[in-house]
Amino acid sequence: MAILKFRVYWEEDDAIYRDILVKHTQSFIDLHQIILKAFEFDQIHGATFYRSNDTWKRGREISKEVYEKEYVAPPLLMSETAIGTEIIDTNQHFIYVYDFAKAWTFLIELIQVIKNADADIDLEYPVVSRVEGVGPMQYGSKGLLGKKFADIEEKYDLSETADGFGEEGEEDGNDSDDAEDADDDSEDSSEESGSGFLDDSFEAY
pLDDT in the model for residue 116: 79
Mean pLDDT, rounded, of the chain:
80
How many Cα atoms are found within 13 Å in the side-chain-facing hemisphere of 64?
16
Torsion of CA 25, 5, 136, 41, to 10 degrees: 20
How far is the C-alpha of 59 from the C-alpha of 23, rounded, in Å? 23
Across residues 165-176, what is the average pLDDT? 50
pLDDT in the model for residue 140: 77
How far is the C-alpha of 160 from the C-alpha of 153, rounded, in Å? 10
pLDDT in the model for residue 91: 92
Task: Please state the separation of Cα 112 from the chain's center in Å.
Answer: 28
How far is the C-alpha of 73 from the C-alpha of 76, rounded, in Å? 9
Q: Please, are residues 111 and 5 in contact by the beta-carbon 8 Å criterion?
A: yes
What number of helices (H) and strands (E) belong to the chain? Answer: 4, 8
pLDDT in the model for residue 1: 78
- How crowded is residue 50: how many other Cβ atoms within 10 Å of its Cβ? 20
Side chain identity, residue 111: I
How many Cα atoms are found within 13 Å in the side-chain-facing hemisphere of 121?
4
Which CATH number fits the domain 2-138, given the four candidates 3.30.565.10, 3.30.70.260, 3.20.20.150, 3.10.290.30?
Answer: 3.10.290.30
9: confidence class by pLDDT, cuts 50, 70, 90? very high
Domain boundaries, the chain: 2-138
Q: Sheet holding 93-98: strands in order across?
A: 76-77, 58-63, 47-52, 93-98, 104-115, 2-10, 13-23, 127-132
Across residues 47-64, what is the average pLDDT? 96
Among 57, 59, 87, smallest CA distance to 72 is for 59
Across residues 154-177, what is the average pLDDT? 49
User: Using one digit for the tens of pLDDT, what is the confidence trace for 71-120?
Assistant: 989 999 999 999 999 999 999 999 999 999 999 999 999 999 998 778 88
Model-level pTM? Answer: 0.68
Q: Please, are residues 82 and 27 in contact by the beta-carbon 8 Å criterion?
A: yes
pLDDT in the model for residue 112: 96
| 7, β-bridge pairs | 19, 109
